[in-house]
Amino acid sequence: MLEIKDLHKRYQMGDVTVNALKGVNLTIEQGDFVAIMGPSGSGKSTLMHILGLLDAPTEGSYKVKGHEVSQMSEDELAVFRRDVIGFIFQQFNLLPRMDASENVALPLLYSEKRLDLEKSQSLLEKVGLGTRSHHRPSELSGGQQQRVAIARALVNNPLMILADEPTGNLDSQSEKEIIGILHDLNDQGITIVIVTHEEEVGQQAKRLIRMRDGVVQSDERRLPFKQNALEKQAAESKLSQIPLANVVQHFAQGIKTLAANKVRTALSVLGILIGVAAVVAMLAIGAGAQAAMQKELSSLGSNLLILRPGATRSSSGVRSDAGATSKLAQEDAADLKNNIANINNVVSTVNGRGQITFENKNWSTQILGTNPGYATMHASVPQAGRFFTDDENLSRSRVAVIGMTLVRELFDGKSPIGNMIKINKINFQVIGVLPTKGANGFRDQDDIVIVPLNAAMYRLLGKENVDTIEIEVSGPQFTSTAQDQILQRINTRRRVPEAQQEDAYQVRNMAEIQDALSSSTKIMSLLLSAIASISLVVGGIGIMNIMLVSVTERTREIGLRKAVGATRGDILIQFLVESIVVSMLGGVCGLALAWIVTTGLTYYANWPAQISLSSVVLSIVFSSGVGMIFGIYPARKASLLHPIEALRYD
């Protein structure tokens, strides 16, 4: 069954080479009960680890059931460890977070891809621990823990049990029980190889091998043994597939581990959560802004043209220092109205900011001065009160129409009509309240006071010129001709030199303005989400960090899992699943937070935000991707650990 020829094992410790095994020859038949004894340092454990496929020899041949071990792949070795050999350690090596029955069932996770707790219960009964199946290792005595470990070694019906000083940490009563169990198992046909210090234990074995200085010193047959034909094939075929059941099991295990480290898990989740929430909220605000803007602009219709001065340039295309910025005046508006065909209405506007005071309240807002025609052109006919008239404009009357934000901030939502407010310290009477428009992108459209153009120019803002002239044409079919005519008219009227005509004035229609605005909001929101996604990467690095700590902390656990038959793939999946669960959890919580934030913004600050389905999908995919990418390195690191080195790790 086991055949060893001229086996050597050397350990390199710095400059010193330790020859632990120096040419061991040994054959062990199926059904035998072999004890290996010898002084400390004689190479017994080293030999056992090689026999158990936990360690590889430096030189020589080792065959298990006719298979040359040095020619087996990592995964084939894992299958042999899982299906053929049961290993019992001096330190029991039970997983502390699992109860007895889960510990026993652990190897089944890698063979049957599920924790069959019924099977482990029946094995626990077999070793006399039927009533302790739900106790954790810390709640069991040493002898009981070793019996759990024996049950674990038996769970895959091995052909052979290797026990490395199984009673080394036990009292004599427990020792008797454990040795008794091993003898029973041998009676059932299982091959037993045991390393022991106890002469008495050695004497009970059917064959006693003594080692000294890395070689077999004596080999004594003490009792006859029953050769048997216990047969078992290592099920290599089970390996290649990763069935769904396997992933589900790893998922359940991953969640359990994460739940056992709540604070750590919560902190890693937090990293991803903030990233996802930021990205989703930014995209939502951007999308909302764009939608609101489009709605507003389209409500203005496609008949509106806006004329504004542009900076004049020299013929070389460089801004000229002569500084002749083109100007617009009310007379230009009148001229256009009288000379361009197919236009309904023309208004001029000036813009500025000002401090509004009512009683003891202050508010800084946008001041818009315009003609009365503005109200119909911009769907701004007051919902309460009225707009000012042409007469009031001409007489520079101090009357104002205010937006809802001002009503809320200065008048606590009460009707402001008839009250006197101060705009930049000048008294104005409120005569109307504008209809609510909500936010447009990052700007609150209700945060505005509209006053007559002349009052704004000469009383409030001290402007000689108007900022824009808005022209409403009678139908969309006239926009393009009107655009050309307006430009020509204003250039001629203002005697703009030919070379500068291209830049001196601009006439834009709504579609162009809409395009310009929405592309700038788009860029803005993409930029913000790009910045936000940096925090996702930071969150990913956080996960990687935690996973690396976790790999280091659980090195012994990884060693044990490998010793009971986990392949590299199993360990890789186990750790990957953990990091993906963390980051997906972060993704889902982040979405929830983004929803809360955007709903709050919409409700309290009137920012229209829209969480789109695509950003939801994107954030989930992205966050699990982050978990995957940043989990791969730690998971790979764990999967590459050598079983015996991992088990020795402190």
Smallest distance from the beta carbon of 238 to ligand ADP, in angstroms? 32
* Nearest distance from C-beta of residue 40 to ligand ADP, angstroms: 4
Q: Which helix (H) or strand (E) holds 61?
A: strand 59-64
Of 20 and 581, nearer to ligand ADP (C-beta) is: 20
Tokens of 238: 């089970």
Q: Which is nearer to ligand ADP, 42 or 103 (CB)?
A: 42
Residue 383's nearest CA partner among 457, 434, 444 is 434
Rounded to whole angstroms, the Cα distance separating 154 from 29 reads 19
Residues 6+ apart with CB under 8 A from 280: 590, 591, 594, 611, 615, 616, 619
3-state DSSP: the chain helix, strand, coil percent, rounded to 5?
A: 50, 20, 30
Nearer to ligand ADP, 51 or 280 (CB): 51
Complex with ligand ADP: residue 35 or 104, whichever CB lies closer: 35
CB of 168 to ligand ADP, least distance (A): 10
We find the least distance from the C-beta atom of residue 650 to ligand ADP, in angstroms, to be: 12
- Is there a contact between 365 and 353 (Cβ–Cβ < 8 Å)? yes
State whether residue 461 is helix, strand or coil: coil
Beta strands 191-195 and 33-37, pairing class: parallel
Q: Which CB sits closer to ligand ADP, 20 or 115?
A: 20
**Could you say which DSSP state residue 475 is in?**
S
What is the nearest approach in angstroms of ligand ADP to the Cβ of residue 14?
10
Which stretches within 301-439 are classed as H helix?
Answer: 330-339, 374-377, 390-394, 404-411
Tokens of 191: 């091959």
Query: From the CB of 41, what's the least distance to ligand ADP, in Å?
Result: 4
Q: Which residues bind ligand ADP (CB under 6 A)?
A: 11, 13, 18, 20, 38, 40-46
Residue closer to ligand ADP by CB (options 13, 322) is 13
Q: How far is residue 143's CA from residue 150's CA, in Å, rounded to a whole number?
A: 11
Residue 484 main-chain phi, psi, to 5 deg: -65, -45
Query: CA 373 to CA 376: how far, in whole Å?
Result: 6
Q: Write down the least CB distance from residue 182 to ligand ADP, Å.
A: 19
Residue with smaller CB distance to ligand ADP, 8 or 97:
8
| In the complex, least distance from residue 19 CB atom to ligand ADP, rounded to whole angstroms | 8
The number of C-alpha atoms within 13 Å of 296 and in the hemisphere containing its C-beta is 24
Nearer to ligand ADP, 58 or 302 (CB): 58
Strands, sheet with 16-28, edge to edge from the N-terminal-most edge strand: 16-28, 2-13, 59-64, 67-68
Q: Nearest approach, Cβ of 194 to ligand ADP (angstroms)?
A: 13
Residue 34 or residue 573: which is nearer to ligand ADP going by CB?
A: 34
